Amino acid sequence: MLSFLDRHHYHVALSNLEVAFGDQLSARERRKIARESFQHFARTMVDLLWSSRLTPLNFLWYVELENFEETMRDTGPERSFITACYHYGNFEWLSLASGFLGLKGTIISQEFKNSLLDPIFKNLREQSGHEFIPRERGIMRLYKALRRKGRTALLVDLTVPPSQGAVAIDCFGLKTSVTSAHAWLNERTDVPIIPAHCEPLPNGRYRLIFHPKISNTNGMTHQQIAQACWNSFEPYVRKNPAPWLWTYKHWRYLPANADRPYPFYANFYRPFEEMLKAETAGSLTEGKEGSED
């Protein structure tokens, strides 16, 4: 029903799937996945509204954990880390479950166009112990929280303009512009990054999967850290694409010399092209220095 009512985002989803998977998916399969993507997002919102019924005692009836103990061992006694998460499955319950697990953190919230919705969703999202803060000076507040051995989580799969501290990564073999905030925070605080996502299970349940922490970040650029986070997640999307937010414009910027098709909505944007050139030049310089060593 949602895909029928919102034809624009339905066509965005179809175009995204076509460029990401090429001939691996038939037109019929793309249409099915696009419809299911709408359904997963709608279910996430409905579940969030229902989530006031969740408690520390009952949330594990609805959410199972994978690699949780390994993550706790990797993050030390303070359990201080940065969660890099994605709009996949029930990303809202990923946050709620983390709070119920004792991993309460400080998180930047996206304000709604209708400001009357902000307090409603803030209360729902904070019920397991998180603190949600506005975007203004938000990164500095996250930095201070991490310096105090706290925790934070950032959604790292949305398009960010190059002027806002973005880096270019390969996403399904296509260039896109994403945040580097998690990389900057890791660099400044030495707090590890743990990618995580929440995938749907039968009977209305979910599985919260903690990925291995991003290792050896001291020798990595912000771009390399952001790419490593995406690389840990993309195989899950390839295996089960429908729960990802395909209705979003993930590839807004069209490289000048693109060797593959991009979605219909992608356009050339000079600041993005300059960012690509700068990152390519930096990679070549690093490679040259490495060969001289």
- Ranking 67-76, 128-137, 213-222, 249-258 by mean pLDDT, the lowest is 67-76
Q: Domain range spanning residue 119?
A: 57-242
The answer to whether residue 168 is domain-embedded is: yes
Residue 156 domain flag = yes
Name every residue whose Cβ is closer than 8 Å to that of residue 44 and which is 6 or more positions away in sequence: 89, 90, 91, 92, 93
Q: Does residue 82 lie in a domain region?
A: yes
The whole-number pLDDT of residue 246 equals: 98
- For 257-280, what is the mean pLDDT? 96
**Residue 78 pLDDT level (bands cut at 50, 70, 90):** confident
* Residue 277 maps to a domain: no
Q: Give how many domains the chain has, as a whole number.
A: 1
pLDDT tens-digit series, residues 16-74: 999 999 999 999 999 999 999 999 999 999 999 999 999 999 999 999 999 999 998 88
**Position 181 in a domain:** yes
pTM of the model: 0.93
Give 114's pLDDT tier (boundaries 50, 70, 90): confident
Sequence-distant (≥ 6) Cβ neighbours of residue 40 within 8 angstroms: 89, 200, 242, 243
Domain presence at residue 166 = yes
Q: Is residue 228 a part of any domain in this protein?
A: yes
In-domain check, residue 49: no
Spatial separation of the C-alpha atoms in residues 115 and 52, rounded to whole Å = 21
